[in-house]
Amino acid sequence: MLPKYRAWDKKEQKMYDVDVIDLKHGNVLVDNLKGFVKFEDVELLQFTGLLDTNNIEIYRDSDIWQYEELRPHDQLIIKRGIISFGFYDNEVGYEDNESGYGYYLRELLEIKGDVSRKVNEIRGIYEDDKVEWLKVIGTVQENPELLEGE
């Protein structure tokens, strides 16, 4: 798979598709119509290769995902987070002492009824894992309020 990126323009506060990355001159060509932008004026966001339930591309450290889990007694739990890349080490969460290097889910918010709380649970995503149970609901850059808890 070829790397794919989009760019968050820090000045305009707007997301753009990336057409060309010019490493020699430190520029990024975004949306052809806008033209070249300097690296320092954008945040480059890499496509993970993963798709959500609606076949929306999920970008690392940017897209906010959500999934709903129905627990006993019809209690609905909503979880939100992002997908990150790098070394992860989690002593609590999905599996005890899970660690590795690669893409991983970072749960950041849990909502039960009217109560939301910040969490920090991690789960590795392995080569054959599918994440079609996740739904992209926004981005960290455009919708930070989606990860705010009490």
Both 70 and 41 in one domain: the answer is no
56 and 38 belong to one structural domain: no
Q: What is the pLDDT of residue 95?
A: 52
User: What is the residue type of 32?
Assistant: N
Residue 64 shares a structural domain with residue 122: yes
Same domain, 24 and 56: no
pLDDT value, residue 71? 83
Same-domain check for residues 23 and 61? no
pLDDT in the model for residue 55: 92
Q: Give the contacts of 144 (CB within 8 A, at least 6 positions apart).
A: none
Check whether residue 78 and residue 32 sit in a common domain: no
Query: For residue 117, what are the contacts with CB-CB under 8 A and spacing of at least 6?
Result: 109, 110, 149, 150
Write the DSSP string, 20-63. EEETTTTEEEETTTTEEEEGGGEEEEEEEEEE-TT--EEETTTE
Query: Consecutive sets of 10 residues in the chain, 150 residues long: mean pLDDT of each?
Result: 90 93 93 84 94 93 93 88 88 61 89 89 75 92 88
Q: What is the DSSP letter of 93?
A: B
**Claim to verify: residue 57 and residue 30 sit in the same structural domain:** no
- Decide: residue 138, CB within 10 A, 0-12 exposed, 13-18 middle, 19+ buried: middle
65 and 28 part of one domain: no
34 plus 99 within the same structural domain: no
The pLDDT score that the predictor gives to residue 150 is 60
Using alpha carbons, select from 63, 78, 50, 52 the residue that is nearest to residue 132. Answer: 52
Domain that holds residue 44: 1-49
* Predicted pLDDT of residue 144: 94
Strand partners, 16: 7
The structural domain count of the chain equals: 2
Q: Would you state the pLDDT for residue 91?
A: 58
Same domain, 102 and 67: yes
Residue 54, pLDDT score = 93
| Co-location of 103 and 139 in the same domain | yes
Q: Are both 68 and 130 inside the same structural domain? A: yes
The pLDDT assigned to 142 comes to: 95
